[in-house]
């Protein structure tokens, strides 16, 4: 089945968007990137999602993350819908959002990326796009994939949190535990020997005692 797996390189597709024609790799440049699909323009859950995404663009920009949305509607529909999204956010109803929306009217890109939801169909019986989130690294490879059904809106605060985790763990030999938030302690990766961990993490490594006697729960303050 078409789609992307973790570690796959993003296809360098061309597409029409609300900000003109793009080539995906050129759009990403050296940045991290989030490509997120939604089922349809002028629908309630999608409007709340894109409104929230627009509000969070400054936070994603601080993290060197570019955002781009995708739907099976036309560029003109996207532009018209953008007025509603801005109005939902309490702003001027302009045909402009702080990120582009891809027009995939023939569903070619949605099929290629494995974004279709077989259980949600339009009035003609054609499948709609699911709520997919792809996070790509500066190397254009897929770092995270989340798939939601059409009936469940995404949590963009969670997407921001996982970006923080992905960026931290990409450059430091740590992993983030359950419910981690920026500033919380992190875990030393199991493959790192104790002596090397002590050198890498001068703030200290703290091991939790367990009944098994195994010393695998090693914590350290979040490195800078």
- Catalytically annotated residues: 46
Backbone φ/ψ region at 42: left (φ over 0), alpha (ψ -120 to 50), beta: left
């Amino acid at each position: 089945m078409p789609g992307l797996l973790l570690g796959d390189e993003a296809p360098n597709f061309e597409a029409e968007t609300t900000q003109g024609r793009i080539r995906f790799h050129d759009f990403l440049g050296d940045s991290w990137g989030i490509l997120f699909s939604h089922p349809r323009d002028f629908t309630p859950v999608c409007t709340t999602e894109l409104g929230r995404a627009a509000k969070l663009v400054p936070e994603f920009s601080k993290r060197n993350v570019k955002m781009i949305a995708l739907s099976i509607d036309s560029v003109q529909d996207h532009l018209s819908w953008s007025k509603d999204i801005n109005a939902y956010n309490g702003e001027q109803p302009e045909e402009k959002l702080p990120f582009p929306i891809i027009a995939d009217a023939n569903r070619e890109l949605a099929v290629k990326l494995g974004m279709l939801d077989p259980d949600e169909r339009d009035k003609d019986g054609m499948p709609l796009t699911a709520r997919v989130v792809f996070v790509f690294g500066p190397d254009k490879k897929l770092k995270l994939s989340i798939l939601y059904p059409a009936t469940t809106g995404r949590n963009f605060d969670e997407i921001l949190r996982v970006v923080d985790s992905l960026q931290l763990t990409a450059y430091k030999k740590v992993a983030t535990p359950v419910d981690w938030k920026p500033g919380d302690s992190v875990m030393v990766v199991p493959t790192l020997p104790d002596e090397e961990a002590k050198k890498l993490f001068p703030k200290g490594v703290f091991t939790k005692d367990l009944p098994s006697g195994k010393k695998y729960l090693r914590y350290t303050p979040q490195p800078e």
